[in-house]
Amino acid sequence: MFSARKLPGGCRAVRLQPLRSHVVSRSSPDLTFVPACLPADPGEIKELQHFISQSKKLFVMTGAGVSTESGIPDYRSEGVGLYARTDRRPVQHGEFLRSARARQRYWARNFVGWPQFSSRRPNVAHLVLRDWEQHGKLHWLVTQNVDALHGKAGSQRLTELHGCTHRVSCLGCGDQSARSELQERFAALNPTWKAEAFGVAPDGDVFLTDDQVRTFQVPACSKCGGILKPDVTFFGDTVSREKVNFVHQRLAESDSMLVAGSSMQVYSGYRFALAAREKRLPIAVLNIGPTRLDHFASLKLNSRCGELLPLINAH
């Protein structure tokens, strides 16, 4: 079920109906794309509990490490991320704009991967953050992920910093539509086209050969004939100034910052950690592996988000 609401920056958001907690909480985490780490020790739990208890208006930023336990791979995790498993790299913004062949390749891969990617469900970490919001602990949540899992979990005080693959935008007229509608158009244009995927990648696509992609047909915008693009910030593109300013305003209203599941290697997110440091806000980092914040964070925890966050009392 989809509904539309206004996003910071004036664009329309296609909202997915939240899932009930029990649908997700009974399932086991998918650890296929989660780096190995030691179990959280009592000391880590106590430290994070103290940090959260002291926070009254918590600003949270999440990255791919929150969604890996839902079976969605990330780019940088040691041993299991895309960069560790393959030499494939994500599409660049400029390449997508100037090359019809690049768009054909992107959409063919996305078409094959979409049924599996779109069926992914929030894990317990998403649900915990939703609950913190409902209890008044979480002031604002900013995610660098484009998988819609926070929205599916029911988070409302949410900014999708890099957009969302569940929306499609026309680069000509700006019209927005649901990605599920485009899947039907792809199927109608390519009734006999078939392709076998060679591995799964982040952000909803799969690996295909050039021969498989060559005959795939890509539709244009049904309103103006323009180029269709997922409503996400590709590598090489920038987040809108309006959205960045909006997030800075939410950060200014907050009294602490938690980074969960992100190495913060991408500047579009890292800038908010730098702003939090300038404001002298306490910063906690929960991530498997090193991050750009480790040298100035108040607290660094090297555990799974889905393991540690449910142990914290947010009341």
Task: Tell me which residues are annotated as active site.
Answer: 162
- Give the E-state strand segments of the chain in sequence order: 2-6, 12-16, 58-62, 138-143, 158-160, 163-170, 176-178, 228-232, 256-260, 283-286, 299-301
71 belongs to an annotated ligand binding site: yes
9 belongs to an annotated ligand binding site: no
30 belongs to an annotated ligand binding site: no
64 belongs to an annotated ligand binding site: yes
Q: Compute the distance between CA of residue 275 and CA of residue 293 in angstroms, rounded to an integer.
A: 12
147 belongs to an annotated ligand binding site: yes
Angle between helices 241-252 and 267-278 (to 10 degrees): 30
21 belongs to an annotated ligand binding site: no
242 belongs to an annotated ligand binding site: no
Q: Which two tokens stand for residue 38?
A: 């030691």
DSSP-assigned beta bridge partners for residue 170: 228
206 belongs to an annotated ligand binding site: no
Cβ-contact 100, 106 below 8 angstroms: no
190 belongs to an annotated ligand binding site: no
Q: Which two tokens stand for residue 170?
A: 């026309």
79 belongs to an annotated ligand binding site: yes
**Rounded to whole angstroms, what are the CA distances from 233 to 65, 146, 161, 239, 308?**
19, 9, 8, 7, 30
65 belongs to an annotated ligand binding site: yes
144 belongs to an annotated ligand binding site: yes
Q: Compute the distance between CA of residue 20 and CA of residue 283 in angstroms, rounded to an integer.
A: 31
Cβ-contact 18, 3 below 8 angstroms: no
199 belongs to an annotated ligand binding site: no
305 belongs to an annotated ligand binding site: yes
Phi, psi of 194 (to 5 degrees): -140, 150
262 belongs to an annotated ligand binding site: yes
Q: Compute the distance between CA of residue 123 and CA of residue 178 in angstroms, rounded to an integer.
A: 23
DSSP SS3 for 304: coil
Q: Compute the distance between CA of residue 63 and CA of residue 208 in angstroms, rounded to an integer.
A: 26
Q: Residues within the annotated binding site for Zn(2+)? A: 170, 173, 221, 224
Q: Residues within the annotated binding site? A: 63-83, 144-147, 170, 173, 221, 224, 261-263, 287-289, 305
Q: Residues within the annotated binding site for NAD(+)? A: 63-83, 144-147, 261-263, 287-289, 305
